[in-house]
Chains A and B, each alone.
Chain A
Amino acid sequence: MSAGALVLERAVPAPRWRLVRALGRDRWAAVAILFLLVVGLVALTATLYVPADVNAPDFAARLVPPLSEGHPLGTDQLGRDVFHRLLLGARISLLVGFTTVILAALIGIPIGMLAGTFGGWLDVVLMRLVDVQLSFPFILLALTVNAILGLGLRNIIITLVIVGWVEYARIARGETLVMREREFVEAARLIGCSGPRILLRHLFPNIVTPLLVVGTLQVARFIIGEATISFLGFGVQPPTPAWGSMVSEGLDYIFSAWWLITFPGLALALVALAVNTTGDWLRDTLDPRLKR
């Protein structure tokens, strides 16, 4: 291929109007994004309309089933309104999901790309680091880190970032390995582009697709990771209403109060669905090769 192909294959940032127009053509993506916006809005404003004493026990109203007066989604074992806690939980869960993914990506992608591009001792050192990290199972590592740091939201995020960055590093490296053999990278190198420039301008746009797929998967995975860590006894501090820990707390009541596990689980699943749908759409829209 020639230098002309190089221009073609480089990811061209789509003008904003093209994105909007593309959204109009994909109903599901529009719905998903709208849903995420609503959840985001709820997360930002929940404290304005959720009563301040939402976490205060009210034994007179314990385990009220859904669709009862004043409690559309029922109450939990301490008589707290599930709907209100869900609204508050949106903030926590989105925080956990997105913060961890962004932080993990910021650490993992540069490491993976550096290792893949330059190879040699840098690759060896960085990938050994990844190997050391990956050699102990995710959840056990999370438990160990959490056992040291203690229970709590901030520590959950730190834990998930520590265990999460390697996935980006590995994917970024693998894709970089393939891409750097491609002609357009060679061409860029031949016409005298500097290392960082090749990385940022030529390589990154071309490996962003699989990373985006991984990223969208990770958001849901990390929200669920929080639930799993809670299940094993290392969750956020009650009464903090994170969806994940609400699910794991609700597990004790799976035989007696189905709504305690169902609604936070549903919220979690819907957000995951929306994030992934958005990811797919972004991928289809931004990927220049699909536009031809």
Chain B
Amino acid sequence: MARFITGRLVAGSIVVVLALTAVFFMVRLSGDPVLLFAPMDTSTKDMDEIRERMGFNDPLVTQYGRFMGNAVRGDFGESTRQQRPALAVVLERLPATLQLGAAALVLALLIGVPLGIIAATRHGSGWDKLASLLAVIAQAIPGFWLGLLLILLFSVFLGWLPTSGRGGIEHLILPTITLSALSIARYARLTRSTMLDVLHEDYIRTAYAKGLSARLVVLRHALTNASISLITLTGLEIGSLIGGAVVVEQVFGWPGMGRETIQALLNRDFPVVMAAAVLFAVMYTVANLLTDLAYGWVNPRVRLQ
């Protein structure tokens, strides 16, 4: 087990390095950062001096070597916009994103999985149709639109909840609902479809024959066997929640990493984008490791290797 984890951590580091490399060259292909932070009435000569001073005139490979050299020492450089360490810029946004993502994941599991079970055990019933309909509606509304509709309804018209910002639990409600809507739908659908598969397997019928109560059968056998798909989905879901948080943070003025990274991308604040890429990659690696451990835990047939 320890060897497995060590192996995965090594693999994870490789992923981080590769991701950094890819993002490094991609953001630099997106254009000239100096144009965006130097005021428009800066002369061409002054612009070039700024580029020279900041090292943007060096060959890309030189810049890459310099960046990686510093990065392994934990130094991602200073934000070109904010003139302070890039890693600090994104790190201070991490708790907000984690809070929002965790809240949404919990909500999605609490609603999505039961919804899927109900739909599967009453396959073809009104419950099934309703669950499917809800799931589809959640998938068919863009997050930014849903968020704004919720703001309109609960903040502007009813005045119950704040429109934006982070603070008490009342600030968390609307962003969490917005972020988890899509995940709820996906959990419900996947639970339903894999449960349907499993419910028709022979051993479930056997279990029924043995006389256990139907409910236990469903929960013990079917859910355990559906869980491999659910775990796969959760692994993906963590990624898409972090991705979805980008938009939700934008709409609700939630001070998270995604919003900061969008700003940095639009402003071509490369050090901040790179620092964010590292954090995202690390979060992803950890989530992945947990997913794989969970595979082995629920289904010993999948050997950890």
Contact = CB atoms under 8 A, between A and B. Distances in A.
A265 interface: yes
Interface string A165-178: 00100110011011
B32 to A, nearest CB: 12
A232 B262 contact: yes
A221 B139 contact: yes
A227 B142 contact: yes
Interface in B140-199: 140-145, 148, 152, 186, 189-190, 193-194, 196-197
Nearest to B22: A132
A131 B236 contact: no
Contact of A144 (B16, B132, B140, B265): B265
Nearest to A210: B229
Interface in A50-84: none
A283 B194 CA distance: 11
A135 B196 contact: no
A272 B145 contact: no
Interface in A182-230: 209-210, 213, 217, 220-221, 224, 227-228
Contacts of B232: 170-171, 174
A273 interface: yes
Interface in A265-279: 265, 268-270, 272-273, 276-277
Interface majority SS (helix, strand, loop, mixed), chain A: helix
Nearest to B23: A136
Given A137-B239, A177-B302, A213 B193 contact: yes
A182 to B, nearest CB: 10
A289 B200 contact: yes
B288 A231 contact: no
Contacts of A272: 136, 139-140
Sorting the interface of chain A by its residue count into under 10, 10 to 19, 20 to 34 or 35 or more gives 35 or more
Contact of A178 (B14, B243, B302): B302
Contacts, number: 165
Contact of A231 (B144, B240, B265): B144
A135 B200 contact: no
A134 B242 CA distance: 11
Contacts of B132: 276-277, 280
B228 interface: yes
B129 to A, nearest CB: 8
A133 B241 CA distance: 15
Contacts of A131: 11, 15, 19, 284-285, 288
A250 B216 CA distance: 50
A220 B148 contact: no
A140 interface: yes
B200 A292 contact: yes
Interface in B1-52: 11, 14-16, 18-19, 22-23, 26-27, 29-31
Interface in A30-60: none
B19 A232 contact: no
A228 B15 contact: no
Contacts of B223: none
Interface in A248-292: 248, 251, 254, 261, 265, 268-270, 272-273, 276-277, 280, 283, 287, 289-290, 292
Interface of B: 11, 14-16, 18-19, 22-23, 26-27, 29-31, 129, 132-133, 135-137, 139-145, 148, 152, 186, 189-190, 193-194, 196-197, 200-201, 228-229, 232, 235-236, 239-240, 242-247, 250, 258, 261-262, 265-266, 276-277, 280-281, 284-285, 288, 299, 301-302, 305
29 contacts: A128-B11, A128-B18, A131-B288, A137-B245, A137-B280, A139-B243, A139-B258, A140-B262, A140-B265, A143-B265, A147-B31, A178-B301, A178-B302, A217-B186, A217-B189, A224-B139, A227-B142, A227-B144, A231-B142, A232-B250, A254-B152, A261-B145, A272-B140, A273-B136, A273-B137, A276-B139, A277-B136, A289-B197, A290-B200
Interface of A: 28, 119, 124, 128, 131-132, 134-140, 143-145, 147-148, 167, 170-171, 174-175, 177-178, 181, 209-210, 213, 217, 220-221, 224, 227-228, 231-233, 244, 247-248, 251, 254, 261, 265, 268-270, 272-273, 276-277, 280, 283, 287, 289-290, 292
